[in-house]
Structure 1
């Protein structure tokens, strides 16, 4: 679907592309926009109606929201931001260029400006930075009938916020909550404070957001009340926001354990997104660049075979095992790079212990596999092409070449991604082409040199 939209945009069919984008709920529209290049995303977003644009905007990631804000320009962004929730503005603020972010805040209505400034005054790891300021609370001395009417009249009512009614006193201090199901079953003239649950499970604005998210996860509520130092209710932590906090915290821990910090993590996320979504220009450019290495390596291997043409002509049976030597090393290298990438992401590989622990272990694995595969393949080569043709040394040649190819590929599968990571190069599309080139050339060089030495041809 994204490719169809991309094609329509390239053809100037904006209305058709917009029709596809809008023919979904806001969350799906946001997903489709997110998979487009930033300029295409802005081209379609600016053609959405005001209400649709706000609904879609709230479903985009923080980085995508910041990008659209910049694309709008300062004046238009200020008009648009005036209708956004405080928590959205606070999150986006940190991702905008500093002069742009400062000028944008100054153009907001006074009340919204003060609200955003208050949120930004808290540490980024506190509940205040992820809470939402829109909630419904009533005083405990009103009747159930009045509370239900307040729910009906609330323009901000959602499935999450509407299932729980918070209770405050005349000073706005949090007293407890009432579930909507309890409210519906209670007599119409009953006072709310008589059926409310006590004020347990609340958090303050300065509490750690991860701990607050875990508290909400342990409760049976979709939202958690947030109070200030005086106990006045100032916001709510929603379940979906709490899950985002926990996901972010888990990912951060994984990358720290892996030895890659926030900068490398962010870089890897951006690279992965570019390689798997959006336009095809980036993945084609990056992958072709590394495939040129394979192309050059293939030509070098061809030159190597040409150099040993007389050896190959003297012992035709050598040609039978060339694919085996090349393919076995390739498979081992791919296994190693995959294991390295997964271990790095899951925190099982620590870059600080790479040489003395992980690379040494992989060398032992490669040596073990090389010995076993070399013995097995060498025996088969001796029985198949060696003994029948009067060249028993062929088994030794194949066995030693495979031992060298497997061991080399295994070590390179760990070493090259590590080097690329240190150099800041994307190792996802880049490691295998280098491994293929190096192990093919060295493996075949050993193969032909061993053949020339043992079989007695040159």
Structure 2
């Protein structure tokens, strides 16, 4: 069996490196089926938790389940929390209740909530009964908040001190109560007697200040304003806007309830970006563990919507059936106008959805974006209208046909640029998710403009 790895592998491995990595994964499989618990435990303990999780995720479902079953409580807690959702769920499902309860006792409350969310209600209640009443009450409080809110995401361990404490008193208190402090924190939150947040003192400033200075004299204003019922995407935006490492979470009255840390927020940003990217393509899920049935269920509804919009576009074409019967060349050129217009609309849509997610389309910025994308469509329309007119004339030697397709191309590009911004903005105003619904509307509107303008102009000029 090969030695334990000393360095992290990179994405730029050469062929020999990849072969060595595959051989190492095979060593892990062999250790699992040889029941070599000692070797596996040493391996997972020496790897970074994220690297260990990546390694386990490369195993087949049977091998992964066998590994979890073999290690049981020896499976490192920090590795479990680093596993992707579907693997973490499978790991928790394989582990007995006692092992899961032992895992929960070693985690911060936000990570505990993540694992408990994976459990069925009946098993969750059984596992919670294994915990102390105090821990159980704290964890159940997390489930009182809606999913995808700051309250569900936050951890309830934090370090707070009254504003009249001195720096020395604060440091001494932290040392004397080290076991109750969060695993990682970056500031001391300053509170009043009613537990309302007054400010914060960064640890770096705390350690540089003399012991006899009061916290009230050095505390800073809290830049963020995150409440327990705030959507996690909005909370993540505040982290990005103010470059935060952590932030307090309060209730509506300003009482301090918990804190968010950047490691959780990074996951939220990645999840939201992935969700928006998939939604633009009409896909709800793209998980590597999805079955064929899961994929069909996720994609079929959007394909059904596209079927309806395709028939709408076909209805526009049917209006000009007589024109198409007389001029066959129109059928050859129609896809050119629709394809280029659709691509132009998709480009504007992608820019708009990203800008909306980054809060860059508020007020006058939205109007400037509409004007910019419309003028971009106009400029591109001129360029490609000239190009397609030349190609159409060389191909069919028909001036009227070249004029019709060039004007249609120009109008379609302008319309694509305009609708690519207006549609997601309108959907956002209506309370819908622009990333989910915009692409269907933009492509349908662009196709309608392409077919109607091209066939309509051809009918006026050539028939």
Alignment TM class, shorter chain as reference: 0.5 to 0.7
The answer to whether 1:32 aligns with 2:17 is no
Q: Hey, what's the Cα distance between the residues in 2 that align with 1:5 and 1:89?
A: 37
State the alpha-carbon separation in 2 of the partners of residues 45 and 58 from structure 1.
Answer: 20
Counterparts in 2 of 1:340-379, with a 5 A limit?
340-350=352-362, 353=363, 357-358=364-365, 360-379=367-386
* Deviations 1:91-112, CA, capped at 9 Å, x for gaps: 75143389xxxxxxxxxxxxxx
**Distance apart, 1:432 and its partner CA:** 0.9
- Given the two structures, how large is their TM-score scaled by the length of structure 2? 0.54
Q: CA deviation at 1:424?
A: 4.6
Of 407-416 and 271-280, the range deviating more from structure 2:
271-280
Instruction: Decide which of 284, 303, 313 is 1:301's aligned counterpart.
Output: 313
Using a 3 Å threshold, how does the CA distance of structure 1 residues 19 and 418 change in structure 2: closer, same or farther? farther
Distance in 2, matches of 1:77 and 1:248, equals 29
Using a 3 Å threshold, how does the CA distance of structure 1 residues 160 and 23 change in structure 2: closer, same or farther?
Answer: closer
Answer yes or no: is 1:434 the counterpart of 2:446: no
Alignment of 1:260-339 (within 5 A): 272=275, 275=285, 280=290, 284-305=296-317, 307-339=319-351
Cα distance in 1 between the residues matched to 2:376 and 2:118:
50
Mapping for residues 32-431 of structure 1, pairs under 5 Å:
32=83, 34-35=85-86, 43-44=93-94, 46-47=96-97, 49=99, 50-55=101-106, 60=111, 62=113, 64-65=115-116, 68=119, 70-72=121-123, 74=125, 76-82=127-133, 84=135, 90=138, 93-96=141-144, 130-131=157-158, 204-206=190-192, 211-212=199-200, 215-216=202-203, 251=236, 253=238, 272=275, 275=285, 280=290, 284-305=296-317, 307-350=319-362, 353=363, 357-358=364-365, 360-386=367-393, 389-431=396-438
In structure 1, what is the equivalent of residue 25 of structure 2?
none
**Alpha-carbon deviations, 1:270-303, whole Å to 9, x = none?**
9949746597477754543222222222234345
> How far did residue 17 of structure 1 move?
6.4
Q: What SS is found at the alignment partner of 1:347?
A: coil
> How many Å apart are 1:53 and its aligned residue?
4.6
Q: Which residue number in structure 2 is paired with residue 102 of structure 1?
A: none
Q: Is the 8 A contact 1:37 1:278 kept in 2?
A: no
Runs (5+) with no aligned partner, structure 1: 99-123, 134-139, 141-150, 162-200, 222-226, 230-246
How far did residue 29 of structure 1 move?
1.1
Please say which structure displays the higher CA radius of gyration.
Answer: 1
Alignment RMSD: 5.4
Contact 2:189 2:199 in 1 (8 A): no
* Shift in Å, 1:326: 1.4
TM-score after normalising by structure 1: 0.55
Q: Distance in 1 between matches of 2:58 and 2:426?
A: 39
Structure 1 equivalent of residue 451 of structure 2: 444
Residue 305 of structure 1 deviates from its aligned partner by 3.8
8 Å Cα contact 1:329-1:440 kept in structure 2: yes
Moved more, 26-35 or 69-78: 69-78
Judging changes above 3 Å, is the alpha-carbon distance between structure 1 residues 442 and 41 closer, same or farther for their aligned structure 2 residues?
farther
Confirm or deny: 8 A CA contact 2:424 2:434 kept in the other structure.
yes
Separation of aligned partners in 1, 2:389 and 2:234: 57
- Superposition deviation, residue 417 in structure 1: 2.6
Alpha-carbon distance in structure 2 between the residues aligned to 1:360 and 1:446: 26
Distance change >3 Å, CA 3–CA 401, structure 1 → 2: farther
Matches of 1:388 and 1:307 in 2, distance apart? 26
Shift of residue 215, structure 1, vs aligned partner: 0.9
Contact conserved, 1:294 with 1:436, CA < 8 A, in 2? no
Structure 2 gap ranges (5+): 1-53, 161-167, 169-174, 209-213, 217-231, 243-250, 252-264, 277-283
Aligned length: 334
Shift of 1:393: 2.6
Question: Which 10-residue stretch deviates more, 418-427 or 371-380?
Answer: 418-427
Q: Call closer, same or farther: CA 1:410–1:248 in 2, change over 3 Å.
A: closer
Distance 1:346 1:71, change over 3 A: farther
Q: Deviations over 1:49-68 (max 9, x none)?
A: 24345336757264554665
After superposition, the Cα gap between the structure-2 partners of 1:129 and 1:16, relative to the gap in structure 1 and judged at 3 Å, is closer
Cα distance in 2 for partners of 1:128, 1:43 equals: 24
* Structure 1 residue 325, shift from structure 2 partner: 1.4
